[in-house]
């Protein structure tokens, strides 16, 4: 029954059904689906695709969708579902992908949780947290994605010739951890997934643009060979800005041209620690920039070259714990230091200590204008080396009343 401008309000409760759109809204009058305030949470659950969106200008807020581990995508988004907003939703217990998008434009997924997307076939097959085809202007923001048997986010598994573009992942957490109990054919204790983010593209056309900003990723080890938090490959131009990766086999696996074009990747303002390797670059990588990053404790190998020369690798303002720098970091702006250069490296705090030799010691990079915290660079005489700019602690002034002299008295005198 709902038409443009309508809001469908659902009283709190559990609804054993699947729902779908039958018409769309408009830019000024979307159709909105949300819970009734004050009546409790809304859960919609079915052993099937629980939500199907095939029309534009739909807004869905604060609803949980449970697929009961059925062999179906839990939330399916068609190519005509342009300007879809999924806000504050939970998608869980899918036997295939949790959220699967075909080729819509201008989709926003924010403030949501996507988890337990597990496909048990052949001992464990791809079920992604969020997967998209030839999407344009997809934004995933402030969202937790975990416990999947494929990738946290993947675009585009079919390499649709139309190509995808302008995908942004920001302020998200993407992770894996051993299952605390058996789930949909996966035994307790198993690591189920592969990568936090994985890219595939058609071989021709403009490069797909990907931005990953202020994202935390961990737990990517023990499932596949060369398991990486970020597996960046093919005809993509990726900016990775302000990402933290730990407890993984590889932080970044960046792949050059093979039968497909090679990725162009910039990793800046990022922090990496407790990994087997920070950056693995492959297949004569053409364009890899590692700028203003911090490699912290327990990085066994800063760089791994796999069938690749290093001439396409540009490393500047790299700050790392160690006694020497790797050969890729030959630029004079790179620096190896002890853990005492950081506020609290043992607990993963890689902000700079005031007396760190990295302060004001970096080389300016025109496009690196802010640090991992969003502070403007530089804060001092020059940019700092590594992911963070050191700033002088703010000293709060006392309230003006305390500075005002008492009438006729010395303000320093005792009453």
Q: What is the CATH number of domain 1-163?
A: 2.160.20.10
Q: Give Cα 340 distance to the centre of its chain.
A: 29
161-210 per-position pLDDT tens digit = 999 999 999 999 999 999 999 999 999 999 999 999 999 999 999 999 99
Q: Has residue 394 got a pLDDT over 90? A: no
286-325 per-position pLDDT tens digit = 999 999 999 999 999 999 999 999 999 999 999 999 999 9
Query: pLDDT > 90: what percent of the chain?
Result: 93
| Gyration radius of the chain's alpha carbons | 24
Q: Has residue 1 got a pLDDT over 80? A: yes
Least confident of 195-199, 298-302, 344-348, 391-395: 391-395
Q: What is the pTM of this model?
A: 0.93
Q: Could you tell me if 256 and 228 are in contact, meaning their C-beta atoms sit under 8 angstroms apart?
A: no
The pLDDT value given to residue 319: 98
Q: Could you tell me if 334 and 356 are in contact, meaning their C-beta atoms sit under 8 angstroms apart?
A: no
Residue 47: how many CA atoms within 13 Å on its side-chain side?
1
**What is the rounded distance in angstroms from the CA atom of residue 17 to the CA atom of residue 45?**
6
Number of residues written out for the chain: 415
Q: Give Cα 176 distance to the centre of its chain.
A: 13
Domain-by-domain residue ranges, the chain? 1-163, 194-391
For range 85-95, the mean pLDDT: 98
SS3 content of the chain, % helix, strand, coil (to 5): 5, 40, 55
Q: Which residues pair with 154 in a beta bridge?
A: 131, 198
| pLDDT confidence bin for 399, thresholds 50/70/90 | low
The pLDDT value given to residue 410: 39
Residue 130: how many CA atoms within 13 Å on its side-chain side?
27
The pLDDT value given to residue 258: 95
């Amino acid at each position: 029954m709902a038409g443009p401008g309508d809001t469908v309000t659902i009283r709190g409760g559990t609804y054993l059904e699947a729902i779908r759109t039958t018409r769309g809204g408009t830019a000024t009058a979307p159709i909105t689906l949300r819970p009734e305030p004050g009546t409790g949470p809304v859960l919609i659950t079915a052993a099937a695709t629980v939500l199907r969106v095939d029309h534009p200008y739909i807004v869905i807020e604060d609803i949980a969708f449970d697929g009961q581990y059925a062999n179906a995508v839990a939330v399916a988004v068609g190519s005509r579902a342009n300007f879809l907003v999924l806000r504050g939703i939970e998608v869980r217990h899918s036997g295939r992908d949790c959220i699967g998008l075909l080729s819509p434009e201008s989709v926003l997924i924010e403030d949501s949780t996507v988890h337990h997307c597990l496909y048990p076939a052949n001992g464990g097959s791809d079920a992604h947290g969020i997967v998209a085809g030839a999407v344009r202007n997809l934004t995933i923001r402030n969202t937790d994605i975990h416990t999947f048997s494929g990738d946290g986010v993947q675009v585009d598994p079919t390499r649709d010739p139309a190509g995808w573009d302008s995908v942004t992942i920001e302020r998200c957490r993407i992770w894996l951890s051993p299952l605390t109990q058996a789930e949909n054919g996966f035994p307790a204790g198993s690591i189920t997934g592969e990568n936090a983010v994985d890219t595939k593209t058609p071989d021709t056309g403009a490069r797909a643009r990907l931005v990953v900003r202020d994202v935390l990723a961990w737990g990517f080890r023990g499932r596949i060979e060369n398991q990486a938090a970020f597996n960046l490959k093919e005809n993509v131009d990726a900016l990775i800005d302000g990402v933290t990766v730990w407890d993984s086999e590889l932080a970044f696996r960046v792949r050059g041209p093979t039968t497909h074009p090679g990725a162009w990747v910039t990793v800046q303002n990022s922090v990496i620690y407790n990994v087997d390797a920070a950056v693995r670059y492959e297949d004569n990588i053409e364009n890899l920039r590692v700028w203003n990053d911090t490699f912290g404790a327990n990085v066994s190998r800063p760089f791994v070259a796999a069938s690749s020369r290093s001439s396409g690798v540009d490393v500047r303002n790299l700050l790392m714990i160690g006694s020497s720098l790797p050969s890729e970091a030959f630029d004079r702006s790179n620096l190896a230091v002890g853990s005492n250069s950081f506020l609290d490296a043992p607990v993963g705090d890689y902000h700079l200590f005031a007396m760190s030799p990295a302060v004001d010691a970096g080389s300016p990079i025109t496009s690196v204008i802010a640090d991992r915290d969003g502070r403007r660079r530089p804060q001092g005489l020059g940019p700092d080396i590594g992911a963070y700019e050191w700033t002088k602690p703010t000293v709060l002034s006392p309230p003006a009343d305390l500075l005002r002299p008492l009438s006729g008295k010395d303000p320093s005198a005792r009453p």
